[in-house]
């Protein structure tokens, strides 16, 4: 009963260990889903703030 909305920019380059970044994002999404036992909407988006990437999970 969870609707997932994803709005990711495709023009941002991320430097780091790919597997660690993937695991961190997966953990954020799984934690958010566990906090929604009644369902709802999960939104994941990326923003460029100055020269830094901001990832929002709501």
Q: What is the pLDDT of residue 13?
A: 84
Of the candidates 42, 41, 37, which has an alpha carbon nearest to the alpha carbon of residue 25?
A: 42
Q: What is the pLDDT of residue 48?
A: 92
Total structural domains in the chain? 1
Contacts 24+ apart (CB under 8 A), 29-33: 29/57, 32/57, 32/58, 33/2
Query: What pLDDT tens digit does each residue of the chain (58 aa) get?
Result: 999 999 999 888 888 999 999 999 999 999 999 999 999 999 999 999 998 989 999 9
46: domain range? 2-57
Q: What is the pLDDT of residue 45?
A: 96
What is the distance between the alpha carbons of residues 23 and 39, in angstroms, rounded to a whole number?
23
Q: What is the pLDDT of residue 12?
A: 85
């Amino acid at each position: 009963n969870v609707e997932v909305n994803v709005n990711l920019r495709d023009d941002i380059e991320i430097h780091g260990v790919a597997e660690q970044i993937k695991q961190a994002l997966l953990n954020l999404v799984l934690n958010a889903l566990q906090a929604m036992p009644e369902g709802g909407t999960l939104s994941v988006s990326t923003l460029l703030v100055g020269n830094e990437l901001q990832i929002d999970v709501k």
